[in-house]
Amino acid sequence: MGARLLGAVLGLVLVQVQVAVQDLDLQKISGFWREVGVASHQNLALKTPKRPEALFLTLSGAELTVKAAYNGSGGCETENIVGAEVDVSGRFVFPGRREIQVMDTDYEHYAILRLSLHWQGRAFHVLKYFTRSLEDQDEPGFWRFRELTADTGLYLVARHGRCAELLKEELI
């Protein structure tokens, strides 16, 4: 009974979030975002060697370009990937059977994204928490992220990285 109630409550929360992003202003989601938190049921999703420190999102029509900054091999690397919006506002598909969906945002301080990857016949899902700031976690957004990930077994707060700073400087 408790599991059913929890499932119903979480389903309701996700429905409320999806309703909130139906009116998503995609132009306002563009710009610099620093990764602050990651939550996933799959340990593999948290241990990936190429976790981005920051993203710069650019929208052109129905295409979303994501420039990601990684700390790899002792130095900073960037990668550009272009995705297309699909039937749900705020959901984009990318090559390699990857998806990004905007779950919640206030545009100015935080964004919560759901990243999905289909690999070797399995689906991997990660909720990621981003802020516009290099310095803080934006407490109201962080608590919203914790609320959305309360049932997630694994959780990680990302470290402040040099690559995020370099990406922001490069794009300003």
Rounded to an integer, the average pLDDT of 68-89 is: 85
Contacts of 117 (CB under 8 A, 6+ apart): 45, 96, 97, 98, 99, 123, 124
Q: What is the CATH number of the domain that holds 93?
A: 2.40.128.20
Per-residue pLDDT of 143-162, as tens digits, reads 888 888 888 766 666 666 78
Burial of 95 (0-12, 13-18, 19+ CB in 10 A): exposed
Q: What is the dihedral of CA 35, 36, 41, 47, to 10 degrees?
A: 70
The count of domains in the chain is 1
User: In this predicted structure, what is the pLDDT of residue 158?
Assistant: 62
DSSP three-state, residue 136: coil
Per-residue pLDDT of 81-124, as tens digits, reads 999 988 777 889 999 888 999 999 999 999 999 999 887 888 88
Residue 12: pLDDT over 60:
no
pTM for the model? 0.79
Range of the domain at 11: 2-171
Rounded to an integer, the average pLDDT of 53-62 is: 89
